[in-house]
Structure 1
Amino acid sequence: MQISRSPAMRDLENESKEIERVEKEELQEEVEEDTKILQPWTKQITIRAVIASILIGSMFSVIAMKLNLTTGITPNLNVSAALLAFVFVRTWKKLLQKTGIVSIPFTKQENTMIQTCAVACYSIAVGGGFGSYLLGLNKKTFEQSGGFSTVGNSPSSIKEPGLGWMTGFLFLVCFIGLFVLIPLRKILIIDYKLTFPSGMATAVLINGFHSRGDKMAKKQVRGFLKCLSFSFFWGFFQWFYKAKDDCGFSQFPTFGLKAWKQTFYFDFSTTYIGTGMICSHIVNLSLLLGAVLSYGMMWPLIGNLKGEWFPADLPESSMKSLNGYKVFISIALLLGDGLYNFIKILRVTLINVHGRLKSRNPDSAVARVSQDKTLNDLKQDEVFLRESIPMWVGAAGYITLALISVIAIPFIFSELKWYYVLVAYIFAPSLAFCNAYGAGLTDINMSYNYGKVGLFVISAVAGKDHGLVAGMAGCGLVKSIISVSCILMQDFKTGHLTLTSPKAMLLSQTLGTFLGCLVSPLSFLLFYKAFDIGNPNGEYKAPYAIIYRNLAILGVQGFSALPKHCLQLCYGFFAFAVGINLVKDFTPKRIGKWMPLPTAMAVPFLIGGYFAIDMCVGTLIVFLWHRINSKKAELMVPAVASGLICGDGLWIVPSSVLALAKIYPPICMKFLPA
């Protein structure tokens, strides 16, 4: 039975076909226009782009370092880097125009290059171990982890931070990551069509900047600059009232003095509010849940058992007292979540790779490409493949740097023997591929978990005399290779979608890595000299330093490092982390989306709830903004959040200089009970 179509229906179909035809013609014209103005890769890297990359990368390194040394949680700042690059070059051009100088056009390829370089730079500050495995080797962390009374802790396991050895180690372990996956970039980006969500989101933003016109851009720039100025001067104002660690607005007892003693207060940090605006709602709520569960319930209860569960005369920082429960339960949550996701993503990776290999058919592949890919997709692929990077570059670079590292790293860490380094470099390419493939599917970079596996294995094999240092250094070696290679693939995805040359992307990443290896140790030592880093009662707690050192101790001596009943609690929280993930994956989405993230919950278990409250204020601002005006919120939230973070980050530099010059705030604002 056939249904006859009315004239109105036929007109509607003809109209829709005409609209589709016009859209295709417009898309083709846009792609052709992009192709006409597309510059060779040598011209996509400009002097102003290099200057902007250095300034933005350096500033973000300081910001990331502060987050590393306070909470250990650093949001993805890729979008902020792209926005700041756009603001910087637009401001540069306007200043030149006022002086009568005509500058070259600002393209999305140049914007992508600056973003790539800046992200590569600050990624070294995030993943270079300054708040975890490298800092965990210093004397203060040695004493907090039990000192000489702990098996595996010895004077030889202490290595104080130094500019020379830190910079050398970073150059050895980070640069090699650039060469691991170069031969596989076509497979990961084009053949497997992996999304790399963060890289794609950044590309969408950059493409939007250069197509929406000046009106939208001006709004974002104004919002960014207003929030940056407010954040900077607010940090300056707060400084006057902070003569000691427990003074100032950052210790304001918002919910009363009893809550303040349990770390529940709003500390007026624009960095954490901005971070909360960038992070998803579930991350911020998970942090708050972890704070309520630990400092609100568990630690007061376990503290009352002093003398029963642990000796009453032990200092609070001892691993055999309450601090031991804080550290090891945090580790249990991290390991449960990490191990589950590690196995899950490895399984997804293997299933996907096996399926693609099994169904590989050249004819069907060609047909599929012609059907599924638009003209724009084909143009992106053409630009991505036009300037190929020879396979021998990746192979030669990897082998050469691996040989240098095998010889040089044992001179920095004598406990990490050359054959441990060699074995790590043999397995690293396959691990890097698995991690990059998983990140392309899920947007989760699992390099930290690969690093922890390396830490446990090397610590156990090296033994109690050398295992602690060997494990921590080996963790950094494995994690850095895998992380840098994954970040490069993510940026390749951004370049693929913005029609940026892969050669320009690789050079930008190399420049950013070089800059990061220089700037990150300098910014770390600025904090290390100016502030009390690693003080569990201060602002800069550096929670992951003690966690990583105790992971290494656990690898050396096993469960004997745990205080009384701590093992049972660790089992419970490990199972809790796995259970939460199972519920999230195997229940309907409406239920799974409300499940907390165990990794986010683990951080306040160790350092308290104050920053979780700040970040929840950020998420509340975003929630209300979307309810009031969703379109404006989508446009302005990245700009406002970036301004808040960057303004506070800029204030860090003068405040550090004042501290180094022994210039202290004149007032201590403190609250006492009546």
Structure 2
Amino acid sequence: MAPPVPNPSQLRVPPPDPGAVPDQPGASAAMDPELYWREHVYQGGARQLTVRAIIAGMLIGAVMCLSNLYVILKTGWSLGVTITACILAFAVFGTLRSLKVLRREFTDLENNAMGSVASAAGYMTGGGNMAAVPALLMLTGTLPSSGWLMVWFAVISALGVFAAIPIKRQLINIEALPFPTGTATAETIRALHGHGEVARRKSRLLGLAGLVGALLVLVRDARFTWLKNLPEKASLPFTILGREAGKWSLSFDFSLLLIGAGALVNFRTGWSMLLGAILNYGFLAPAMVSQGVIPEVTYKAINSWSLWTGSAVLVSSGLLSFAFQWKSVVRSFSALGGLVGIKPKEGAREDPLADIECPPAWFPLGFALLGPVAVFLMAYLFQIPWWAGVLALPLAVVMGVIASRVTGETDTTPTKALGPVTQLIFGGLAPGNIPANVMSANATGGVGLHSADLLTDLKSGWLLGASPRQQFFAQLFGVAAGAMVVVPIFKLLVPTADVLGTEQFPAPASMVWAGVSKMLASGVSALHPTARVGALCGALLGITLVLLERWAPPKVKAFIPSASGLGLAIVIPGSSSISLFVGAGLAALLRRVKPKLAEDAVLPVSSGFIAGESLLGIAIAMVKAFGFMPK
């Protein structure tokens, strides 16, 4: 049986034992956290990156990548992968073992390695990938072939995996940054493998919720002649300017996916989204329609105007929040000195983890092999000047270090802030070059996300006693699986740019990236005067909300709208915000009334709703694309 998961604070430098003598056995371990970990936590002989863990991780990660693709096109978010994957893998392997199909138990470290594979695949939609590529399609009307895009995603993501090597030991072993998701994953794995009934209950809830979500899609979207379909939406019972609320996108969306996604965010974000929807579609849009600025009452027409206000809220709040984390940024730059490897401490005998950790030489070797490929792809696929591609690589390393530390301290990877920063940098270096502006930001965002993702997984491994090298290779397997899956399904769901920015696929993250690029290419003067005023007001609102959240008394903060929730609600349809609010409200109510039930049920049920609806939605889209069902 594995040792108990230590509290993260226990793996900081242990307090010196006053009775220890340096030459006595155990004295070094009492003063060196890495030696302590090796002697008391590390499970060197346990099964970890097995063939079945790799296959399970690639399959589960691919499925969750598809689910995340659907969700990000709907809401702009990529949702958590690793904990759900670990619950699902445990349930599958437990079932197979009970049926005598498997003889050997699926161990905790196998599950941890599987989670590393699954997270790398599942997050292939993040890091700007599914913001930049749809934005490029909207701006230029074309994309590279599927094969080239797969290579692009794989190379950029793999660079992020290599970028994590030189900073891992400083952030995790020495400083013991919390990486909350990594810590929660370790605790979840420990609970699953220590208490089978908890795992079985969660897996049953996940499966049942997935079935319910899939059935709802079938009844709503399949359009079988023998099946009476539900309407997709139900308008709220009032009118605005003589038109029913549903025409302004203020309706209830029959989507358990959105309710599930709402349950995974906090209630403050949920009610902020409802507020943003009311503000935009109930007041601002009708005012602009009355003045003739917005020509018709459709979501696409409204969004073409309100996009600038919502984008300004998101970008200004993201950049200011990031600026307030300047201490993390400064520490990140100091950590860049570790890129040449961890220097031995003065008087240290030898590195206790030399044969366990990834060798520091893997970092420059990885960039020496993949860096020229990335520069070539930027030039060949996106016509980015070679010098700009070369400049993007060190910038990507810097962004990766910053993103990793911020993720370790806050559990939030700041790609929404780092993306616009890179766009601004390349907007100045290569003015008017839209592909360079968008895809260079994709490169830095992809490196940052996958560096932070690997370190989050390595935090779980550190707490469980796993091999860092095996998790490193696990991450590369996941990168390959995610790249192969996400591109063809994206092209199936989004055959042309006309699908984006609609109620079906609002793609808010892509709309923001495209909007920033347009503004940098054509200048603010190209916007309608009211859109410029809206952008200015949005920027000021984003800044104000961040300042209020930072400086308001604790009792007041709960009543301050979330800038990210409010800004996103201005970009996506009002119906989506309403459903997200309903999900957040139900989860908050359950946590208050039945906290134990909420702890057991919210994550698996929400994940099941999301997976069931998104995967069957993709399946129906594939059936329609191949002509087996009327469109």
TM-score range, shorter chain: 0.7 to 0.9
Q: In structure 1, what is the equivalent of residue 150 of structure 2?
A: 167
Change (3 A) 1:89 1:608: same
Inter-CA distance 474–37: structure 2 relative to 1 (3 Å threshold)? closer
Q: Deviations over 1:482-520 (max 9, x none)?
A: 111111111111111122211111111111011111111
TM-score for both structures, normalised by structure 1: 0.79
1:422 paired to 2:426: no
User: Is 1:516–2:482 an aligned residue pair?
Assistant: yes
Write the distance in 1 (CA, Å) between the matches of 2:426 and 2:330. Answer: 26
1:606 shift after superposition: 2.1
Distance 1:385 1:283, change over 3 A: farther
Q: CA deviation at 1:66?
A: 0.7
SS in 2 for 1:44: coil
Contact 1:59 1:649 survives alignment (8 Å):
no
Deviation at 1:471, TM superposition (A): 0.6
Instruction: Tell me, yes or no, if the aligned pair for 1:287 and 1:600 is still in contact at 8 Å.
Output: yes
SS of residue in 2 equivalent to 1:249: coil
C-alpha distance in 1 between matches for 2:377 and 2:223:
48
Identify if the C-alpha distance between structure 1 residues 348 and 60 changes in structure 2 by more than 3 Å, giving closer, same or farther.
same
1:485 aligns with 2:451: yes
CA deviation string 1:433-473 (max 9, x = no partner)? 12211211111211332222221221332233xx1121112
Residues 500-555 of structure 1, C-alpha deviations (whole Å, 9 max, x = no match):
211111111111011111111022122124x9863544412323333322211211
Q: Distance in 2 between matches of 1:291 and 1:392?
A: 51
Aligned residue runs from structure 1 range 168-207, under 5 A: 168-207=151-190
3-state SS in 2 of match to 1:63: helix
Q: What's the CA shift string for 1:27-55, capped at 9, x where partnerless?
A: xxxx99x97993537x3112222221122
Letter in 2 for 1:564: P
Q: How big is the shift at 1:162?
A: 2.8
Is the partner of 1:252 in helix, strand or coil? strand
**1:540 match:** 505
Matches within 5 A, 1:238-253: 238-241=220-223, 248-253=230-235
1:174 to 1:62, Cα distance in 2 relative to 1, 3 A: same
Partner-residue secondary structure (3-state), 2:395: helix
CA contact (8 A) 2:127 2:446 kept: yes
Alignment of 1:558-577 (within 5 A): 558-577=523-542
Residue aligned with 2:361, SS: helix
Structure 2 match to 1:134 = 133
Give the CA deviation at 1:561: 2.2
Any residues of structure 2 matched to 1:31-50 within 5 Å, and which? 38-40=43-45, 43-50=47-54
Query: 1:305 is matched with which residue: 285, 288, 291?
Result: 291
For the Cα contact (< 8 Å) 1:172–1:409, is it kept in 2? no
What whole-Å deviation, never above 9, does each CA across 1:362-420 have from its counterpart, x for those lacking one? xxx99xxxxxxxxxxxxxx98x7761211111121122211222234211122x11100
1:410 equivalent among 348, 369, 379:
379
1:173 and 1:630, CA in 2 relative to 1: closer, same or farther beyond 3 A? Answer: same
Alpha-carbon distance between aligned partners in 2 of 1:204 and 1:605, rounded to the nearest angstrom: 37
Q: What one-letter code is carried by the residue in structure 1 that aligns with 2:50? A: T
**Which one has the largest radius of gyration?**
1
Query: Which position in structure 1 is the counterpart of 2:424?
Result: 456
Q: Compute the RMSD of aligned alpha carbons.
A: 3.1
User: For structure 2, which runs of at least 5 residues remain unmatched after alignment?
Assistant: 1-35, 338-344
Stretch deviating more after TM superposition (497-506 or 444-453) = 444-453
User: How has the CA–CA distance of structure 1 residues 505 and 311 changed in structure 2, closer, same or farther, with 3 Å as cutoff?
Assistant: closer
User: Per the alignment, in what secondary structure is the counterpart of residue 388 of structure 1?
Assistant: coil
Matches within 5 A, 1:13-412: 38-40=43-45, 43-95=47-99, 97=100, 101=101, 103-127=103-127, 129-130=129-130, 132-138=131-137, 141-142=138-139, 157-160=140-143, 162-211=145-194, 213-241=195-223, 248-255=230-237, 258-306=244-292, 310=293, 323-350=303-330, 387-412=356-381
Aligned equivalent of 2:19: none
**Gap change, CA 1:569 and 1:231, over 3 Å in 2:** closer
Is residue 124–residue 516 contact of structure 1 (8 Å, CA) maintained in 2? yes
Shift of 1:167: 1.4
Contact 1:122 1:520 in 2 (8 A): no
2:103 aligned counterpart, secondary structure: coil
Indicate the percent of aligned positions where both proteins have the same amino acid: 22
Cα deviation code 1:240-268 (max 9, x no counterpart): 4599xxx9432222545722122122212
Whether contact under 8 Å (2:508, 2:572) holds in the other structure is yes
Distance 1:35 1:92, change over 3 A: farther
Residues 163 and 522 in structure 1, CA contact (< 8 A), matched pair in contact too? yes
Tell me, in whole angstroms, the C-alpha distance in 1 between the residues paired with 2:502 and 2:385: 37
- Give yes or no for contact 1:460–1:556 (8 Å, CA) kept in 2: no
Cα gap change, 1:36 to 1:459, in 2 (>3 Å): closer
State the one-letter code of the partner of 1:197: P
Residue 598 of structure 1 aligns to which amino acid in structure 2? A
Alignment match, 1:369 = none
Unpaired runs of 5+ in structure 1?
A: 1-30, 143-156, 358-364, 367-380, 667-674
- Do the aligned residues in 2 keep the contact of 1:435 with 1:445 (CA within 8 Å)? yes
Instruction: State the SS of the aligned residue for 2:57.
Output: helix
Per-residue deviation, residues 272-295 of structure 1 (Å, max 9, x unmatched): 111112222122222112111111
Distance 2:187 2:360 in 1: 29
Taking the aligned partners of 2:435 and 2:331, their CA distance within structure 1 comes to 37
What is aligned with 2:10?
none
